[in-house]
Structure formats: structure tokens, C-alpha cells
Amino acid sequence: MNRKLGLRRSVGRLWHHFFFHKMTEPSDPAPTAPVSTPASSAPGQAQPATENSPQTLPIRDSKPTQPTGDAPASTDGAADKPLSPAELKKKAKADKAARRIREKLEREGGTTGSTTPTPSVGAQARPPSTPKKDATGTGSAQKGPRAPPPRRGSGPVAQTGSVLVEQKKKKDDKKVSVFGHLYGQQRRVTVAGATKEVHHAILALGMQLMDYTICGSSARCVATLIAFKRLIESYTTPMGTSLARHLTTHLSSQITYLSTCRPLSISQGNAIRALKLFIAGIDPSTPEASAKISLCEYIDSFIREKITVADQVIADSAAQKIQDGDVIVTFAGSSIVKQTLLLAYNRGKRFRVSIIDSRPLFEGKSLARDLAKSGLDVQYSLVHSITHAIKDATKVFLGAHAMTSNGGLYSRVGTALVAMSAKERASGVEIPVIVCCETIKFTDRVALDSIVVNEIADANELLPMDTPVSLVVPNPDAHVPPTPENKKGGNRTPAPEPLVTPHKTSSSPLADWHNTPNLQLLNIMYDVTPAEYVDMVITEMGSLPPSAVPIVHRMVTNL
Amino acid sequence: MPSSSLALTPGLGSFLKCLKTNPIDTSIETLISLLKRRQIRHSRSCATATAYLLRSVISACRTTDSAKLIERVQSVGRRLMAAQPREMVVGNIVRRVLGLIRDEAEDDRDAEFALSDIGSESQPQTPRAYDDPSLPLDRDSPSFRSDDRSSRPPLTSMFSLLSHPEPENSLPSTPGSSSPSGRLAGHGPSKDVRAEVLEGIGEIIDELGQVDDQIAAYALDHIHSNEIILTHTSSTTVQKFLLKAAAKRKFTVIHAESYPNNHEATHATVSGSAVSDDDNLGLEAFQKPLIEHGITVILIPDSAVFALMSRVNKVILGTHSVLANGGLVAAAGTRVIARAAKVHQTPVVVVSGVYKLSPVYPFDFDSLIEYGDPSKVLPYEEGDLVDLVDVQNPIYDYVPAELVDLYITNLGGHAPSYLYRIVSDHYRKEDISF
């Protein structure tokens, strides 16, 4: 029910998204252009003003106007002195200057040309070239006054190869080397560049996944399945192929799109695998209409069995573990834990809940809100106070993103700290750590640490933000080099467009971290809690020790 | 004199100014209210303020009777400690000043016997002033000193006379006690206790100014090349320590930001834009941040500590105060980090000046913990939520001794189990609960 609500809300969010990007694209040059055009069309002698104006956008504008901008300047000078030879001389000079400028521009386009000291050569020739120079030079020169560098803006406008190379190098510098293997591809931030086969429901879903509107392993899984259902409903098999064969490849392209928005969760992967298996099993002789109906039915029953009912079963058995007077600690916001706690409360159990939350997603906030509104006694704190929250706890309930085959709990980063604290309290009494997890989240992968398998989110999310809504603001920063999948779509120019950096406080010392050498921000999404910290995994198939995960996983997948 | 501490900041800076102009009672009140309102926060600022205040108190106190001085300092100290019982550094400084006075008084008495031996005594004392931060000497001294301390209360023997100057390396309580003997030669037994005590306090203040550099001098012993070091929150001591090593070696620093309470300072430290209003950082011009030494600094949210711990070679932590049992009180979140390090068998190193070492054996851990502004956890924009839930924002964590592998103080490296010895070297029994 909540999930549906969330979906509806998120569709609205998507519209906001479209709107947002649509608006920012054309509107951004508009305000900046007037700022800089006066500067650049001002008499040629007034370069100092333009020199450090970081506007890079209007280069295209200013270049055509530039010669004319110079010409009026010279004619003005001529108007004062009506001597025609002098006028001619001036004109020749201006022409020469203009030519020099053009040459310079070309030269810069060809080579790296980010050497800052050169401009002293042609003082007259400065105005048009300086903005460009800034565009390329932002990397080395740290611009004090304007915190968010205009680098991104310069990308699409002045698509010089050198800029891209430099940005790429810088980007690499910002990658934490230990996690190098996880940076793979930049997350997509707009729908632009998606192939036309991608269904609109999938497009929408991708955006919602990307900005965490749909967040949480099971929510993502359900949303994906629902989107696939809509895709299948509107699907017609092209001539010459069979549904079973074509639909699978068709799905694959959708899945590729989804995975560029955010790496697929284990649950999504499992659901997709099951769906593909089912599609492959469809008898080619069945008519398309009935095949589609059976597919939709399969998806519905899959959602019902694996998630909706499974959640009810889990909540039911987990709620039985809660007793009056308990102090339950939970980390971040898990839907199944919420369901469990609410169920226990509605059954008349009276207990206290202590929610530990973490940056940057603050998922616990909505959990705290929902629980508190239902009347539960809720305490809210952040990761730094784990020890204090765990001190008088009696049970720890955790949600899961996945359970690995070696019994590890793969969940929101910070979970391991909570589980560890529960097991190693100062008083020496261990608190039971109970994980609620549907079997759809079981995987046959194994993980010893949180580094080999993980997901890297955009580091800009870590910048302190003032706006309370900023959580859902996508991070338009991390998309500079058009990623491989981007180049397929012809219109790559608008892809890295949204140059909306000001969502972070300019006062933050980190605002300029992209240009600060050697400084890296790391925002990983998950960590692996070792099996020894988990006492019990409650699944729809019963309560198990973590060591039973591979067995159950085999049972489930072999069905 | 420590010009460093004159760097102006709202808390400490204004207090020091006020100390110069206002009468002593006003200054005491000012410091008390600063402490109460937490306008003066960092351990070192509190320690410096206390030391300066006590210096003024003593110089304003027109008596040569050590008992009266002790009484006066005790009464001021009690008020200061009552103002902010969790700022244990204040009590530490008061105790050390009391110890100074007592030493003076005893020396007075001893001097009557020892007068003949003064010549031999003043000799080893002169070099002391120069090789004050000399490390090798420093490092063996604690054991020596402890013997010497325990053997001192009985009448002075030749042995104790000779060993006396030894511990004074960076121990400000003894500098007071030795310098008198130097003067004694000129003045005879009727010397001015007050002047000697003032001098001793001056040395305490000096120590507070130098302590970070002294600790940093050990950095190369502990950090090797290509290490990955994890630290937490912004601590000048830790930063200096790392900077010192950064001058010679390349390593990587993972910096957990300590979110709601100190993340801004951490961000500033990390990015090098730390011309911070924070009096901790402002004290000495922070030459260059680590990143400018070519050290890769990775900023992570606190929650990612466990995930990264498997790659970390060493955890280096700053602290708020250190307790006599080897435990420490440090910024909230430290304990989970230390625990995670223990789980991963990663050594935990705590750097701390000796002045943070408190002769307190904690029995009630909760009483050590201070709770801070909950709006940092849940801003008031989320009013609906604030109404409904109970928000907690502890500022400190108690970290038990077993989670710490090594303490590095300005005297060298110590095992946590050894700290009680240093405590007993620095504070006199009669002052532990004054």
C-alpha cells in the first residue's frame, strides 16, 4: 500500500524531473549571457573585468560579437579624431588583432592550451580568448570567488577534446583507488541518450531509481516488475521472431538502461532471472495474447508470493519476537522492519524503538515519522551515537539488501557497525541481531568484505546541504564524460547539461572538492556484516541461521 | 611566552584579553560562564585558559604562605570544575598547579638540609632547559621518574638529589621544583614560593603550546610508507602528527567526518580551508593541509568505517580526555571505530597530550558523557518529527582501555595499562580529589 503511494508520488517526482531539466537547460544561458555580453562587448581595453569572469557559456555568443565589439571601439576612437589615415591605421590594427584572436582560438582548440600565463602576449586580443582559457584552466587554477566551477557548463558548449581529457583525468583522481573497480560507469542523470526501444515506464522507473525516489531492495524489485508488466502489456512481437526469443532481448535492453540509472539490486537481478526463465519456457506455439496474459499473471503472482505475502509472513513471525518492554534498535529505514514493528504494536505489544540513521540518505527519518505517527515510542539518533543507543537495547532488527551465500548480510552502509556493537557491548551481554529478509534477496555470491562487492554513489551527495528537500535533488555533478552508453544516442550534447550546482552551500569547505587535488570523497552504499554478528534471519520460509542461506537459496531457485 | 595561545578566538581569545584588563574575580567569573556555556570547548583551550587564570590568581594572591596559596587555588579550582565537570582538563591543570605549590613548600623544607649540595644539583638542571624536547632522554625517563617520585617523600638522599632534575624534561610540575633550587643558591632558604610557582605555571603554559609538536615528533616511528590510516573528527594533534609524517612519507588518510557535531571542522581540515573560527584549529597557523603534501585524503561518512576497516593499517585518534585506567573520552563515534578496528585487528593509536590525562577512574561511564544540541541531528525544519521522537546527540564516547593499543603522549608511547603510572607522576595523591 505504501509502496503504491510511493510510486504515485514518484511519478510526480519524475515530472518534476523532466520539468527541472527542461527548464534548466535553456534558462541557464539566459541569465548568464547578459552578464557577460556587456563585459565582452565593452571596449577592448577593459579586459581585466572579463579576465576572471568565469562565465564560459557565452563564448559562442561573444565570438561573433567580438570583432564588431572591437570595431565600434575603434570607430569611437576615430570619431574623436577625424583623421582618415589614423582611422585606417586603427582599422588595420583591429583587423590584425581579430586575426590573431582567431588563430589563437584555433590553436587552443587543437592543443591543450591550458597554460595560463600566455595571455600577456596580446593584451588587445584577450577578451574573447580569456573566457575560453578559464574553461580549460579551471582544473589547475582554483577559482576562489565562485565555488562551483563552471567546468560542466563548458563541457557541452566548448567540446574541445582537451577539456574532456583533462576532466577525465581529474575524475580519475577523484576515484578512491581501492574501489576503482566499482566506478565502472557514471550514473545516468537524465533520460537523454536512452535508446528508443526503452519503454516509457522503464524510463520513468530509471529516473526514480536514480534519485532514490524508489529506494530499498524490495521496493526496487516490485517497481521493476510492475514496469516490466506494463512493458509486456504494450508489447507486440515483431514479424519474423517469436515472443520467447525477442522479448528476452527486448527486456535486456531495458535492463541495460535500468542498470545505468543505478546498478541493479540483487532482488531485481533475481526477479529478472526468474522472469527470463519463465519467458524462455513459454511454448513458441502459444498465441501472443495468451502468452502475454500468462506473463502478466506470472509477474503478479511473483510479486505476491515473493514479496507481498512474504513480507506478511516475515512481519508476522518477527513481530512474535518482540515482547513488552523491549528496546528495539534498527538501522536506517527498512520497509520490512517497519511492517514488523507496526504489526507488533498493533498486536498490543508496548516497546521502544531506537532508530539509528546515517548520512547521506537519512532513510531512518521517514521510518521514525511513520512509527511515531502510529504511536510508537521512537528515539532517533545518528551513527555517532550507536554505542549510546545500543546500551539499553534488547534486540536489533535489521533489514537487508541481500544475504550472501556465506551468511553475510549485505545492507546499507553502517549496518555492520550496529550489528557489531550489539555483539560487543561493554556490559558483555550480547543482544540478538535479527535480520528480516525475503528469500528473493538471497544470492549465491559470496562476500568477505565490503570492498569487492559494493555500490558507489555520487560523492556529491556527501556535501552538506541546507535544503531539507535536497535529498531528492539529483546530483547533477557527476556526469561529465559522456559514458559509453551515452554515445549511442545521437543527442549526447544535452546529456551532461544540468549545471545546477548550487544545491550545496557555497560556504562549505568541500564545495570545491572537485578541484582540490588529493582530496577524495567516498560514498559507498553498502557494507557486509559478517555472519557471526547475525543470530537469525527471518524469511518467509522460516527463521534460519545465516549459514542456512545457501541452502535456502538453492531450494528457492530450483523450484 | 606562548604567543600561540593569543590567537584570537571567541572563547579563549576574549578570555585572555579580559584576563589582562579585568580584576581577578571578574576573570574567574568570566571563565566559569564560558565553561558553563560551552563557549570555550576544546581541551587545550580550556587547559590554557585555566593555566592563565591560575597564574593571575597566584600573582594576585599576596602571600608567601604555601598553605594559603593552596587553599586559594583549591577554591578557584573547585568552582571551575563545578562549572564544567566533564571538562577534566581544567581539573588536571588545577591539580598540577597545586602539585607545584606543594613541591615548592617541600623544597623549602628540604632546602634546609640540601643547601650544601646545591652546587651539584644546579648542574644537571642547566642542560635541561635546552634539550627540553629531546626525545630519547624523554622516553626512558618515566620509569626513572616513577622510582624517584616514590622515593622522594622520605628525606632527600644523594640519589634523589641527582635524579631530581631528570624527570623535569617536560614535566612542568618539577620544573617549578627544580628552578627554585637553582635560585636557592643566590637567595637562601627564604625564597619566594609564589614566584617559583608562577614560573612553573609558565612552563605548563609552554607545554600546552608545544605539546602537539612534541607528539608529532614521534610520528615517523609509527607511520610507515604506503599505510592507510584512518582518523576521525578534526583534531589538531592528529593533524600535526600526520603532517609530520607526511613530510617524509607517503601514505593515505581516510578521514571519517563525525557527522553532526564536528563535520564542518573536519571538512575544513580535510580540504585545507581551515582558517576556522574554531579555537582548536586557529591556535597555530596550520601551515598546510595534508592534501598539499601529496597525501591522499579520503573523506567518508562515519557509517562507512566498518566497510573500509579491512583495508586500514592503523587508526589514529584524538581524544577529549584520557582516564587513569587507560580508557578515554573522545568524540562520539570513536568507540565504534575503535571497536571495528579491534574486530579487524587493526592497531588503534591515541595521540594525546599529558595534560589530558586525568586521575579519574571511571565507574559510572554515563556521567562522563555530554549530550549536545539535538537540532544537529534533526533540524528544526522537521518540526513535525521533532515533536514526535526523542532525539539524542551525545558528544562524547567512552572508549575502554582494551580497545586502545597505544597511547602517544608528549612523553612517548605507552601501553594503556601504563597510564596510571604517568598519572601518579603528574598529580599528587592529596590533590586527586581536592
Instruction: Fill in the DSSP letter of residue A308.
Output: I
Q: Is pLDDT at A477 greater than 70 in this prediction?
A: no
Pick from B346, B340, B263: which is nearest to A387 by CA?
B340
Q: Which residue among A509, A517, A522 places its CB closest to the CB of B267?
A: A509
Res A508: pLDDT: 72
Inter-chain CB proximity A519 and B271 less than 8 Å:
yes
- Measure CA of the first residue to CA of the last residue in chain A; give whole Å: 29
Q: Looking at CA atoms only, how far is residue A520 from chain B in angstroms?
A: 5
CA–CA gap between residue B237 and residue B243 (Å, rounded): 10
Please indicate if any CB of chain B lies within 8 Å of the CB of A257: no
Taking only the tens place, the pLDDT of each residue in B36-75 is 888 887 888 888 888 888 888 888 877 777 788 888 888 8
Q: Which phi and psi (to 5°) does residue A96 adopt?
A: -60, -45
Angstrom distances, CA of residue A509 to CA of A147, A361, A504, A506: 9, 21, 11, 8
Give residue A26's pLDDT: 42
The answer to whether A442 and A402 have CB atoms below 8 angstroms apart is: yes
Higher pLDDT, A481 or A397: A397
Q: pLDDT digit string (tens) for B390-414?
A: 898 999 989 999 999 999 999 989 9
The reply to whether residue B307 touches residue A389, judged by beta carbons under 8 angstroms, is no
User: Which residue would you say has higher pLDDT here, A48 or B28?
Assistant: B28
Q: Which of B107-116, B377-386, B410-419 has the highest mean pLDDT?
A: B410-419
Note whether A417 contacts B: Cβ–Cβ < 8 A.
Answer: yes
Classify residue A335 as exposed, middle or buried by CB count within 10 Å of its CB (0-12, 13-18, 19+): buried
Q: Which residue has the higher pLDDT, A139 or A396?
A: A396
Cα–Cα distance between A543 and A213 in angstroms, integer? 31
* Axis-axis angle for helices A335-346, A217-233 (nearest 10): 110
pLDDT in tens, A300-315: 999 998 899 999 999 9
Residues 6+ apart with CB under 8 A from A151: A135, A138, A139, A163, A167, A480, A514
pLDDT for the residue numbered A162: 56
Output the pLDDT for position A311: 92
Give how far B298 is from chain A: nearest CA, Å. 5
Chain A, chain B: beta-carbon pairs less than 8 Å apart: 190
| Side-by-side strand order, sheet with B228-232 | A519-521, B296-300, B252-256, B228-232, B314-317, B348-351, B406-409, B412-414
Which of B271, B303, B390 lies closest to A516 in CB terms? B271
Average pLDDT for A365-387? 91
Residue of A382, A418, A461, A520 for testing the chain B interface, max B β-carbons within 10 Å: A382
In this structure, of A222-236, A418-432, A529-543, B163-177, the range with the lowest mean pLDDT score is B163-177
d(CA A475, CA A495): 13
Taking 60 as the threshold, does the pLDDT of residue A128 lie above it?
A: no
Band the pLDDT of A299: cuts 50, 70, 90. Answer: very high
Query: pLDDT at position B26, please?
Result: 85
What's the rounded mean pLDDT across residues B332-351? 92
Most distant CA atoms of chain A, gap in Å: 101
Q: Which residues of B touch A421 (CB under 8 A)?
A: 336, 339
When pLDDT is cut at 50, 70 and 90, the band that residue B257 belongs to is: confident
Q: What is the pLDDT of residue B379?
A: 84
The whole-number pLDDT of residue B16 equals 82
Whether residue A413 and residue B304 make contact (CB cut-off 8 A), yes or no, is yes
Q: Residue range B288-310: average pLDDT? A: 88
Contacts with B, A 77-116, CB within 8 Å = none
Q: What is the ipTM metric for this complex?
A: 0.77
- The answer to whether residues A335 and A218 touch, using CB atoms and an 8 Å cutoff, is yes
pLDDT recorded at residue A164: 57
Partner residue facing A424 (CB), from B273, B339, B378: B339
Q: List chain B domain ranges.
A: 3-209, 217-432
* Candidate from A414-418, A509-513, B71-75, B368-372 with smallest mean pLDDT: A509-513
The C-alpha atoms of residue A61 and residue A69 are separated, in whole angstroms, by 12
Q: Mean pLDDT, to the nearest integer, of B247-255?
A: 90
Question: A33 CB contacts (<8 Å, ≥6 apart)?
Answer: A57, A58, A61
Interface of A with B in 344-373 (CB under 8 A): 355, 358-360, 365, 368-369, 372-373
Q: What is the pLDDT of residue B274?
A: 56
Q: B69 at the A interface (CB within 8 A)? A: no
Domains annotated on chain A, with CATH: 33-135+145-157 (no CATH), 312-452+526-558 (3.40.50.10470)
Q: How far apart are CA A174 and CA A168, in angstroms?
A: 10
Q: Is B63 on the interface with A (CB under 8 A)?
A: no
Contacts A420 to B, Cβ<8 Å: 306, 336, 339-340, 343
The shortest CB-CB distance from A372 to any of B272, B332, B388 is to B388
Confidence check: pLDDT of A197 > 70 = yes
CATH class assigned to B217-432: alpha beta
Q: Which of residues 490-529 of A touch B (CB under 8 A)?
A: 508-510, 512-513, 516-524, 526-528
User: What proportion of chain A, given as a percentage, has pLDDT over 70?
Assistant: 62
Task: Mark A495-507 as b/e (b = at least 16 C-beta within 10 Å).
Answer: bbbbbbbebbeee
Which pLDDT score, from 0 to 100, does residue B10 have? 57
Mean predicted confidence (pLDDT) in B233-243: 88
What average pLDDT does this structure show over A2-11?
45
B143: distance to nearest CA of chain A, Å?
32
Interchain pair B264, A450: CB under 8 A:
no
Q: Phi and psi dihedrals of B208, rounded to 5?
A: -60, -35
pLDDT of residue B113: 64
Higher pLDDT among residues B254 and A26, named by residue: B254
pLDDT at residue A376 tops 50: yes
B379 Cβ under 8 Å from any chain A Cβ: yes
pLDDT of residue B150: 42
Nearest CA to B205 among B100, B69, B135?
B100
| A454 CA: distance to closest CA in chain B (Å) | 10
Per-residue pLDDT at B25 exceeds 80: yes
Reply yes or no on whether the pLDDT at A76 is more than 50.
Answer: no
- Amino acid A352: pLDDT: 93
**Mean pLDDT score of chain A:** 71
Whether the per-residue pLDDT at B337 is higher than 90: the answer is yes
Contact between A518 and B295 using a beta-carbon 8 Å cutoff: yes
**B380 vs A57: CA distance, rounded Å:** 39
Average pLDDT over residues A67-80: 42
Whether residues B292 and A518 touch (CB distance < 8 A) is answered with yes
At residue B277, the pLDDT reads 43
- How many H-runs (helices) and E-runs (strands) does chain A carry? 19, 11
Q: Is the pLDDT of residue A501 over 80?
A: no
Task: Give the integer Cα–Cα distance in Å for A90 and A74.
Answer: 7
Evaluate if residue A125 carries a pLDDT over 60: no
Determine the residue among B299, B302, B306, B342 to mutate to test chain A binding: the one whose Cβ has the most chain A Cβ atoms within 10 Å: B306
CA–CA separation, A129 and A125 (whole Å): 7
Among chain A residues, the shortest Cα distance to B262 is held by A384
β-bridge partners, B297: A519, B253
A110: confidence class by pLDDT, cuts 50, 70, 90: very low
